[in-house]
Amino acid sequence: MNANPQTPPVERREIVSWAMYDFAHSAFGTLVVTFIFSAYYARSIATDPIEGAIWWTRAVNASAIITALIMPVVGAVGDFGGLKKRFLLIATAVCVALTAGLFRMGPGDAWIAALVFVGASVAYESLQSLANAFLPELSTRENMGRISGLGWGLGYFGGLLCLILALGMVTAWLPETGGLNVRATNLLAAGWLLVFSIPTFLFLRERQPRRRASFGTYVRMGFARIGDTARDLRRYRQAIRLLIARLVYNDGLTTAFTMAAIYAAAEFGMETADLLVLGIVVNATAGASAIGFGFVQDRIGGKRTIAITLVLLMVATALAFLARTLGVFWAAAILLGLMVGPNQAASRALLASFVPRSKQGELFGFYAFSGRLASVLGPLSYGLILGATGSHRWAIASIIVFLAAGLLLLLRVDEEEGATLAAAEGASRG
């Protein structure tokens, strides 16, 4: 898919620098969304832990809706104008600034903290989408699983190193006064993204031709390109089927990760230090399995890889629901880590194999669209069930429904047809 003679050849340092971007942005997802700030928000910033958990799900929902609405257009504009890398730089800068701003949030700042988080989360999801859109340019169908898996693996190992540093900050290096030891982890997340994204901006190349136009022209062309895609959905039907399936099963995954720390704290009394250890173990297993399963995907295909992970993710969720001892919960968490990395890497790589060269930013914009819509119903269901029952256990059981439904939808995806159609369109336009 990167064989166009008019574009520069892919260099190894480009692949590594692209994969390093997963390493760079991993800190936000790990420290802010999943293991530290989410629990701190519910426990300390909000006036009541249950109310804090509910408001956290609403903040996640708000960021999801905003991202879902803007990213297909941003991606289409990036394709038309050759602006994906520039947009990536802007999203990175915004995410760094707003994440650092979370450091100032404390008890009584629930509303402003939620708003700052929403802005940072929109930037975070946007930069992931824009970075993902470079994958089809850097890989072929034969090595796409390995390259995507390398990125996800480095991302989880980046999260692992962040958690180790955060554990030192929370337990030993910084005072607990005013929650300084916890709040400072936001500065770590911001600095991590800032520093480790530098190789990406130095070595990753924009291969789409640059078109200079007015802002209005860019926006009109972005919507026009989306309209063209909508009028010819049959050509992209396998990509659309995958996006719909991912929208549903990723709803379960997103809920599991955004509510994991809150669930562990509520049901098993895990403190911040305990949650950091949990995060370290989960990230280590997810990183190793993402890299290893990349080779598996290149042998058995992305669809089969995703299906295997979904079945085992349902098992992990059932274990978490049934767990009455910390040991069983740990087993569920480890199984979750082993499967979530390969699931995410295989989903990204499978879509990349369905994407023609001229639609990279746009279709990965829809990938972000499906991913962020997947952050609406799952957390919303969790919050509604929690509000109605007061039970985190019944709330987490809802995740199984989303995983099972997503698996059924995935079975309709024809992997071979999707890759063939993308290759044919790329050849006709190349």
Q: Which domains does the chain have, with CATH numbers?
A: 12-429 (1.20.1250.20)
3-state secondary structure of 148: helix
Mean pLDDT within 356-360: 78
Are the CB atoms for 320 and 263 separated by under 8 Å? yes
**What does the pLDDT read at residue 430?**
46
Q: Residue 148 pLDDT more than 80?
A: yes
Sign (positive or negative) of CA dihedral 79, 84, 90, 92: positive
Nearest to 402 by CA among 330, 322, 317: 317
Whole-model pTM over 0.95: no
In contact, 239 and 246? CB cutoff 8 Å: no
Distance CA 39, CA 53 (A): 8
CA dist 294 and 184 (Å) reads 35
Gap between the Cα atoms of 11 and 143, Å rounded:
14
Those residues with Cβ within 8 angstroms of residue 69's Cβ, 6 or more apart along the chain or in another chain: none
Q: Note the pLDDT tens digit of each residue in 39-82.
A: 899 989 998 888 898 898 889 888 888 988 888 888 888 888 88
In this model, does residue 386 exceed pLDDT 60? Answer: yes
Least confident of 36-50, 160-174, 192-206, 358-372: 358-372
Contact 170, 183 (CB under 8 A): no
Backbone angles phi and psi of 139, in degrees to 5? -140, 170
Beta strands in 107-182 (DSSP E): none
Average pLDDT over residues 198-216: 88
Whose structure tokens read 């988080």? Answer: 117
One-letter amino acid at 232 equals: D
In this predicted model, what pLDDT tens digit does every residue of 265-321 receive, in sequence order? 888 888 878 888 888 888 889 899 999 999 999 999 999 999 999 999 999 999 999
pLDDT band at 5 (very low <50, low <70, confident <90, very high): very low
Query: Which range, of 222-231, 306-315, 351-360, 378-387, averages the lowest pLDDT?
Result: 222-231
State the average pLDDT for the chain.
89
Provide the pLDDT confidence category of residue 6 given band limits of 50, 70 and 90: low
